[in-house]
Structure 1
Amino acid sequence: MARKKGREIHGWLIVDKPAGIGSTDVVGKVRWALDAKKAGHAGTLDPDATGVLAIALGEATKTVPLLTEALKAYDFRVNWGAETSTDDASGQVTKSADSRPDADSIRAALPGFTGEIMQVPPNVSAVKVDGERAYDLAREGEVVELAARPLWVESLELLGTTADTADLRMVCGKGGYVRAIARDLGRELGCLGHVAHLRRIWSGPFEASDGIAFDRIDRANQAEIEAALLPLQSALIDLPQMQATEMGAVRILNGNPGQVLGHAEFGEEVWVSREGRPLCIGRYMGGEVQPSRVFNLG
Structure 2
Amino acid sequence: MSQQIKQPKPRTSLHGLLLVDKPSGMTSHDVVSRVRRLAGTKEVGHSGTLDPLASGLMVVLLGEATKLSSIVTEGDKAYEVQVQLGIETDTLDITGAVEKTTPVTVKKDEVVAKALALLGEMQLPIPLFSAKKIDGKKLYEYAREGEEVEIPSKSMTFWDVTYIENVEAEKENRYSFHLYCSKGSFIRSWVKLLGEQLGCGATMSGLRRTKSHDFTVNQSLGLEGLMAEKDAGTLDLSSTIVPLNEAVGGVRNIKVHGHDEVLLNNGQISHDLRSKLIVLFNPERDQWVFASSRDNKQVLAIIGLEPQVGFKIKRGFRY
TM-score by length of 2: 0.84
Q: 1:221 to 1:50 in 2, by over 3 A?
A: farther
Q: Is the 8 A contact 1:6 1:35 kept in 2?
A: no
Q: Aligned to 1:247, which of 259, 280, 293?
A: 259
Percent identity of equivalent pairs: 31
Rg larger for: 2
Aligned counterpart, 1:295: 317
Per the alignment, residue 290 of structure 2 pairs with 271
Q: Separation in 2 of the partners of 1:153 and 1:247? A: 48
**Coordinate RMSD, CA, aligned:** 2.4
For residues 200 and 88 of structure 1, what CA distance do their matches in structure 2 show?
A: 15
Q: Could you tell me which of 64, 72, 87 is aligned with 1:67?
A: 72
Gaps of 5+ in 1: none
- What is the aligned partner in structure 1 of residue 193 from structure 2? 184
Shift of 1:233: 2.3
Q: In structure 2, what is the equivalent of residue 29 of structure 1?
A: 34
User: What do residues 70-98 of structure 1 show as CA deviations (whole Å, max 9, x unaligned)?
Assistant: 01110011010011111111111111211
What code does the residue aligned with 1:21 have? Answer: M
- Deviation digits for residues 89-146 of structure 1, max 9, x if unmatched? 1111111211343343234434663222112121111111221111222222234332
Residue 30 of structure 2 aligns to a residue in which SS?
helix
Contact 1:205-1:234 at 8 Å conserved across structures = no
- 2:231 is the counterpart of 1:220: yes
- Counterpart of 1:173 (choices 157, 171, 182) is 182
- In the TM superposition, 1:63-142 aligns within 5 A as 63-110=68-115, 113-142=118-147
CA contact (8 A) 2:158 2:180 kept: yes
Do the aligned residues in 2 keep the contact of 1:157 with 1:170 (CA within 8 Å)? yes
Given that 2:253 and 2:291 are in contact with CA atoms closer than 8 Å, whether structure 1 keeps it comes out as yes
TM-score, normalising length: structure 1: 0.90
- CA offsets per residue over residues 181-229 of structure 1, 9 Å max, x none? 1111101111110111100011112221222212234442565251322
CA–CA separation in structure 1 for the residues paired with 2:287 and 2:202? 43
Structure 1 runs, 4 residues or longer, greater than 4 Å off: 1-4
CA 1:67–1:293: 2 relative to 1, 3 Å = same
Paired letter, 2:317: F
Question: Could you list the per-position Cα deviations for residues 137-174 of structure 1 after superposition, in whole angstroms to 9, with x for gaps in the alignment?
Answer: 22222343321001222332222362412111111111
Task: Work out which of the residue numbers 50, 57, 80 in structure 2 matches 1:52.
Answer: 57
On the 8 A contact 2:156/2:186 being kept in 1, the answer is no
Give SS of 1:236's match: coil
* C-alpha distance in 1 between matches for 2:290 and 2:184: 25
Instruction: Report the secondary structure of 1:87's partner residue.
Output: coil
1:229 to 241, 247, 270: 241
| Structure 1: distance between partners of 2:74 and 2:111 | 29
CA contact (8 A) 1:78 1:182 kept: yes
Structure 1 pair 277/224, CA: closer, same or farther in 2 (3 Å)? same
> Structure 1 residues 92 and 238, CA, compared in 2 at 3 Å: closer, same or farther?
same
CA distance in 2, matches of 1:238, 1:146: 37
CA distance in 2, matches of 1:225, 1:49: 27
Letter in 2 for 1:43: G
